[in-house]
Amino acid sequence: MNILFLDQSGKLGGAELALLDVVKDYPNALLGLFEEGRFRELAEQNHVSVKVLSHQAIAVRKESGWLAGLSSLGQLIPLVAKVTRLSHDYDLIYANTPKALVVGAIASLMSRRPLVFHLHDILSLDHFSSANRRLLVGLSNQFASLVIAVSQASLKSFIEAGGRAELGAMVYGGFQPEDYCDDRSSQTFQTKAHQLRASLGLQNRFIIGHFSRLSPWKGQHILIDALAQCLPDTIAVFVGDALFGEQAYEQELHAQVDRLGLNDRVHFLGFRSDVVPLMTMCDVIAHTSTAAEPFGRVIVEAMLCEKPVIAAQEGGALEIVESGVSGWLVPPGDADQLAKTIHHCRDHWEEALAIAKRGQEQAKRRFDLTATRQQIHQLLEQVIRARS
Ligand code: UDP
């Protein structure tokens, strides 16, 4: 199967990491990116053919209105022309992000190639302006042969926003357990984790890890507020960068840490590619999104690293974690409850370890990359068969 994959981002977010795992399965595929960056480098390291189709990121954001959309037409038209030309050599266009859908939809109309949209979002007003939501649903309904949602919550949001239910399918993100902490890899990761703890001067500290780009809705500020209520030997480590122009939030986080006198208890490590040893270094992983998480790769990754995870009780997290069984769920935005759950976890460490073990077993079983690839492959075959 020859597939033209499209993604708007040059940066590495969850949607891009998930796409890479799918693209690697198709040796004849081309990955078209709308921006230069780390994603291209990582894809090339993984022997994926990549073409950067635009050298300036499209300025429209999820929350932008029609006007911003219109002002980006100058950038969109040449991009659509390039994608249309390329798509003649492929059986299918696979749009992995909203802007890729916009470009892919027009290209699919011109080249008469089927279009698949992989929805890694919750189409709610928390995340999108109503204009953009209408646009994405309208384009999907009109041009896509299939919409693959990343969770039940994401699929439901598509249908509630007016998406045609018969277009939708749900496929969870998949992972290779051996990339995390299984019996074979555990020793290596433990050694690296030990070195990391020492290099950060965090021996004998209780470390809460937070792995996410810095963005207000990812709720790093909630963990900082909770930390102020935790025992003084508790440390928070934030892994992730302000990827999408959210530098003002990063400054606010630093100011919050200053204000609460937590400077020696908070570490900001920026974007890292050694997530697994860093997770292994932590005692607990916190996920604190204040709006529904479409899926939440970091939650599954923490479980695969056999770590107790405390996640915000909304969206995809509800489908991953069974509270008190395979992790804990706390109300989104509730720093007090998060602090209480961290206390509980420390006070009942045997229970926490049992929960982490169960979480790991469930994650291995439910979020297996081989199954994810098979499901996507079958769906794509159906699309191509229906067309021909
Ligand atoms: N991640 C990473 N380096 C970082 C922070 C995060 O590689 O410094 C990865 C993380 O391990 C996860 C992904 O980025 O695989 C984030 O995916 P998630 O679904 O949690 O959030 P999204 O970015 O899609 O909102």
What is the residue with the minimal CA distance to atom 17 of ligand 1? 14
Looking up residue 353, the CATH number of its domain turns out to be 3.40.50.2000
pLDDT band at residue 59, thresholds of 50, 70 and 90? Answer: low
Say yes or no: 133 and 189 in one domain.
no
What type of residue sits at position 320? I
Number of domains, the chain = 2
What type of residue sits at position 366? R
Alpha carbon distance 359, 304 (integer Å): 7
Question: Closest by alpha carbon to 202, among 267, 260, 263, 252?
Answer: 267
Which residues lie below 8 Å from residue 222, measured CB to CB, with a gap of 6+? 288, 290, 333, 334, 335, 338
CA angle 211, 217, 223 (to 5 degrees): 55
Alpha carbon distance 273, 276 (integer Å): 8
The fraction of the chain above a pLDDT of 90, given in percent, is 88
Do 331 and 337 meet the contact criterion of CB atoms below 8 Å apart? yes
Which residues lie below 8 Å from residue 228, measured CB to CB, with a gap of 6+? 260, 262
CA 69, 70, 71, 73 dihedral sign is: positive
Range of the domain at 342: 178-366
Q: Which pLDDT does position 243 carry in this prediction?
A: 78
Which pTM was predicted? 0.95
Residue 169: phi and psi, rounded to 5, are: -140, 155
- pLDDT of residue 78 exceeding 70, the answer is yes
Say yes or no: 18 and 163 in one domain.
yes
Say yes or no: 113 and 166 in one domain.
yes
pLDDT tens readout for residues 132-159: 999 999 999 999 999 999 999 999 999 9
pLDDT band at residue 345, thresholds of 50, 70 and 90? Answer: very high
Average pLDDT, rounded, for the chain: 94
Q: Which pLDDT does position 189 carry in this prediction?
A: 87
pLDDT band at residue 62, thresholds of 50, 70 and 90? Answer: low
Whether ligand 1 lies within 6 angstroms of the CB of 295 is answered as yes
Say yes or no: 159 and 188 in one domain.
no
Q: Is beta strand 309-312 parallel, antiparallel or unpaired with respect to 328-330? A: parallel
- Distance from the first to the final alpha carbon of the chain: 13
What is the residue with the minimal CA distance to atom 5 of ligand 1? 240
pLDDT tens readout for residues 211-243: 999 999 999 999 999 999 999 999 999 999 997
CA 113 to centroid of ligand 1, rounded, Å: 31
Say yes or no: 376 and 327 in one domain.
no
Whether ligand 1 lies within 6 angstroms of the CB of 276 is answered as no
